[in-house]
Structure 1
Amino acid sequence: MSGRLLLVDDEPGLRQAVQAYLEDSGFVVEVASNAREGWEKVQQLLPDLVISDIMMPQVDGYQFLKQLREDPRFETLPVVFLTARGMTSDRIQGYNAGCDAYLPKPFDPEELVAIVSSLLERRSAIARAGGDDEKTDLADIKEQIAQLRAMLSQKGTIAQTPAPIHLDFTPREQSVLELVAEGLMNKEIARRLDTSVRNVEKYVSRLFSKTGTNSRTELVRYALEHGLTK
């Protein structure tokens, strides 16, 4: 099982050792030395999974996790806590905060690899099934987009304003944007583009990040108003 991981830990020695072991196990690993740097990198890299220490200066792991969970792009992103705090109450606090796994230090690197692989496989299985979150949150997305198009076209043409910045979409991101604007779900987009649902999820997340939007309806509105799609 491969994937792109983000490791956030303020201990250089541990950070380097864990990164080397995970990379030897076939993962692509980016690192951050604190939660603020981790937040910047998670938005840039859109990793498949985050491994974070809890005891960090300024912004601790719990605050970092809360920030991730409050962002629609990362609310389902798997997060593993690595921490020296191994009491049962600490683990309960971690799970209540929304982490997917909790591994107290010192830990066996093989166990970490097993946990990471398991979480990535579970996420992949959900994507292959079509994405449960998509079914619940976006069941009426086609109707919303149709209403949005109608509202913006009341004067005969869609009101467009110049894009405030140049958005450098890849050809695949542009293709996904066009299909999202048609009201297609991730599973339908994946079928149309002959790719996996997981890949489509990544492209949609990148579109959110590049346009500063948080939902498909916001994304389509932004794209239509700025002439990024037809």
Structure 2
Amino acid sequence: MNLESDPTQAAAAPETPATPVRLLLVDDEPGLRTAVKAYLEDVGFAVTTANDGEEGWTVAQELLPDVILSDVMMPRCDGYGLLKKLRADERLGGTPVIFLTAKGMTADRIAGFQAGCDDYIPKPFDPDELVARVHNVVTRQQRLLAEAARFADADIGQLSKQITEIRSLLATGGTKKPATASEHVFTPREASVLQLVAEGMMNKEIARRLETSIRNVEKYVSRLFIKTGTASRTELVRYALEHGLVD
């Protein structure tokens, strides 16, 4: 990481929201933690740090950060181990994760994305690029949550009618496209949400059924949009039915 950039460059970064974005920085290098934390705080983020994946997991459960920046190679619990715990957690499963690592090979980047990270920045990196990428994932997450909330207010009768029509079309003329494990890797909670969406339930009903918050459901629906490449509940249901992902 090169921190010799002109400090005035930080002012050119996109404006942060009135409520600072909460970042959790997980890295076992003290010098890097200090430098990155200082730079990100200068541009308006609220930054909490952790020494490794094990401590990062503990802090994440208390902080519920908006974005997690994590090194990959760390003692006790590495970045992949931390990511696995996050994706399986009820409250943290939808949290964007950016990997910071010295590994820059294509195979390593692919491994990071397959593990479920949202972005991947090899060290050394430019701090302004890091800020831009953090803003990117925050903006994308906010947009997806807003989209999920908009569909949560959709007419349940109309959506149910569309789902019935999709099921009918598939039953009479379509064939299911087999889905391979590499194509769709859902957490148990994501799979449960997908099944309930396919049954025509809206977010409030899903939240009650799964005994969780509506915001958590919105996060899971957003992640399902990302993983399936869809942009609406109707598209998501059609995709799930066509690929045999739901009953």
- TM-score range (shorter-chain normalised) is 0.5 to 0.7
Task: String of CA shifts for 1:152-199, please: whole Å, max 9, x gaps.
Answer: xxxxxxxxxxxxxxxxxxxxxxxxx9xx8xxxx84xxxxxxxxxx69x
Mapping of residues 87-126 of structure 1, within 5 Å: 87-126=105-144
Aligned with 2:51 (options 24, 33, 43): 33
**Structure 1 residue runs without a partner (length 5+):** 149-176, 187-196, 203-230
Amino acid at match of 2:76: Q
Question: Quick one: distance in 2 between partners of 1:11 and 1:79?
Answer: 18
Between Structure 1 and Structure 2, how many residues are aligned?
Answer: 156
Partner of 2:81 in structure 1?
63
Q: Say if 1:59 and 1:135 are closer, same or farther in 2 by CA, change over 3 A.
A: closer
Mapping of residues 151-230 of structure 1, within 5 Å: 186=214
Partner of 1:77 in structure 2?
95
Task: String of CA shifts for 1:57-91, please: whole Å, max 9, x gaps.
Answer: 12111111111111132222100000011111111
Amino acid at match of 1:59: C
Q: CA deviation at 1:136?
A: 3.9
Partner of 1:211 in structure 2?
none
Partner of 1:4 in structure 2?
22
Amino acid at match of 1:142: E
Q: CA deviation at 1:135?
A: 7.3
Question: Quick one: distance in 1 between partners of 2:64 and 2:112?
Answer: 22
Question: Quick one: distance in 2 between partners of 1:35 and 1:104?
Answer: 18
Q: Say if 1:37 and 1:137 are closer, same or farther in 2 by CA, change over 3 A.
A: farther
What secondary structure sits across from 1:122 in the alignment?
A: helix
What secondary structure sits across from 1:20 in the alignment?
A: helix
Partner of 1:165 in structure 2?
none
**Structure 2 residue runs without a partner (length 5+):** 1-15, 152-189, 220-247
* TM-score, normalised relative to structure 1: 0.60
Question: Quick one: distance in 2 between partners of 1:102 and 1:5?
Answer: 16
Mapping of residues 129-148 of structure 1, within 5 Å: 129-131=147-149, 136=194, 139=197, 140=201, 142=205, 145=208
Question: Quick one: distance in 2 between partners of 1:113 and 1:14?
Answer: 15
Say if 2:70 is the partner of 1:52.
Answer: yes
Identity of aligned residues (%): 51
* TM-score, normalised relative to structure 2: 0.56
Work out whether residues 196 and 206 of structure 2, in 8 Å CA contact, stay in contact via their aligned partners in 1.
Answer: no
Q: CA RMSD in A?
A: 3.0
Aligned with 2:40 (options 22, 41, 45): 22
Q: Say if 1:3 and 1:138 are closer, same or farther in 2 by CA, change over 3 A.
A: farther
Aligned with 2:146 (options 108, 112, 128): 128
Deviates more, 1:64-73 or 1:6-15: 64-73
